[in-house]
């Protein structure tokens, strides 16, 4: 993280004073000025991340009304991924709380952060698809913007792919070492566990937590599956697994689902209805031979 420095030529002290006023109006940054003879040394003391490398990992964060969480999440990911070249792609569904403005503020200071504002279309799954397809990193992760997913899982998840050859790694609340205590209330616990059990049985998916919204994968396999994905509803993990033309080598790693700090849960009856529709559609597709 560095500041910017430039040397400007000024005819006199009056010019330097005028430039100070103009620069503050134009840039709104903290500046320090040193006047020496005919030279004006202008130093922007606001930290800026200037190094830009091709990312190894893209983190896709679909969001809606998460303005209070964005900066906290960016800081947490930066700390957790100190050994990884990363980027974050926020996909915002035109949040009324101006989430995109906070994203742009972060992006102005750090080129590893990008934002996509979607107007006239909504939905977590389609937001994730757009985010992944805008990435060029070899690996991508999906996590929520509500701070309930544990960013410390990202490095172990990436290691399972790069060192052990897995195609898809799921952060699971329901394997040994996992925890779902961050779910708010008995109703959400019931929906999560009940939905996972229901999904496993009907779709014959060998995952303990098929409802997880936190997972990582090889971007190339997502690219191949994207044209077959429904893009509907919230359970993009199921959509990816069911749309892949080849069997996926999948690993679950334990995660702790943290309590929400700000904002409100998006889980409602409409989400459950979309899940039921998706499962019904996948069952029909499987019967017709669309899924091997």
What is the pLDDT at residue 23? 43
What is the pLDDT at residue 180? 83
Least confident window among 15-24, 66-75, 266-275: 15-24
Crossing angle between the packed helical segments 70-80 and 154-164, to the nearest 10 degrees: 50
Tell whether the model's pLDDT for residue 271 goes beyond 80: no
| Distance of alpha carbon 193 from the chain centroid | 24
What would the pLDDT profile of 142-183 be if each residue is shown by its tens digit? 999 999 999 999 999 999 999 999 999 999 998 999 988 776
Handedness of CA 86, 164, 156, 1 (dihedral sign): negative
Residue ranges covered by each domain of the chain? 2-48, 57-275
What is the pLDDT at residue 231? 84
What would the pLDDT profile of 58-98 be if each residue is shown by its tens digit? 999 999 999 999 999 999 999 999 999 999 999 999 999 99
Mean pLDDT, the chain, rounded, equals 80
Instruction: Summarize the confidence of residues 198-212 as an average pLDDT.
Output: 80
Tell whether the model's pLDDT for residue 256 goes beyond 90: yes
Under the banding of pLDDT at 50, 70 and 90, the label for residue 194 is low
Tokens for 50, please give them.
């200037």
Q: How far is CA 188 from CA 90, 191, 275, 278, in A?
A: 25, 5, 15, 20
Residue 286 CB burial class (10 angstroms; 0-12, 13-18, ≥19): middle
Count of CB atoms situated within 10 Å of the CB of 116: 17
Under the banding of pLDDT at 50, 70 and 90, the label for residue 201 is confident
Tell whether the model's pLDDT for residue 259 goes beyond 90: no
Q: Any residues with CB less than 8 A from the CB of 44 and at least 6 apart, and which?
A: 3, 4, 5, 27, 29, 30, 31
Least confident window among 89-93, 99-103, 238-242: 238-242
Overall CATH class of domain 57-275 = alpha beta
Q: Of the segments 26-35, 42-51, 279-288, which one has the largest average pLDDT value?
A: 279-288
Q: How far apart are the first and last CA of the chain?
A: 50
Strand partners for 254: 172
């Amino acid at each position: 993280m560095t500041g910017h420095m430039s040397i400007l030529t000024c005819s006199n002290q009056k010019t330097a004073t005028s430039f100070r006023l103009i620069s503050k109006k134009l840039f709104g940054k903290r500046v320090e000025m040193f006047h020496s003879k005919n030279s004006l040394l202008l130093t922007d003391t606001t930290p800026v991340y200037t190094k830009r490398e091709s990312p190894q990992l893209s983190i896709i964060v679909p969001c809606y009304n998460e303005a209070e969480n964005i900066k906290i999440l960016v800081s947490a990911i930066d700390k957790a991924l100190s050994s990884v070249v990363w980027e974050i792609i926020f996909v915002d569904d035109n949040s009324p709380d101006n989430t995109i403005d906070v994203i742009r503020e972060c992006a102005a200071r750090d080129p590893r952060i990008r934002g996509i504002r979607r107007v006239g279309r909504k939905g977590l799954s389609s937001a994730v698809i757009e985010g992944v397809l805008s990435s060029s990193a070899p690996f991508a992760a999906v996590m929520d913007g509500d701070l309930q997913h544990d960013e410390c899982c990202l490095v172990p998840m990436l290691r399972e792919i790069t060192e052990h050859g897995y195609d898809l790694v799921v952060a699971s609340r329901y394997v040994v070492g996992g925890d779902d205590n961050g779910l708010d209330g008995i109703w959400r616990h019931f929906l999560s566990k009940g939905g996972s059990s229901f999904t496993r049985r009907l779709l014959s998916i060998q995952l303990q937590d098929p409802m997880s919204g936190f997972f990582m994968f090889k971007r190339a396999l997502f690219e191949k599956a994207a044209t077959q994905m429904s893009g509907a509803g919230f359970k993009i993990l199921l959509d990816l697994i069911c749309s892949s033309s080849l069997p996926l080598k999948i690993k679950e790693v334990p995660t702790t689902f943290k309590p929400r700090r700000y904002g409100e849960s998006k889980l409602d009856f409409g989400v459950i209805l979309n899940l039921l529709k998706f499962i019904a559609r996948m069952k029909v597709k499987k019967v017709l031979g669309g899924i091997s």
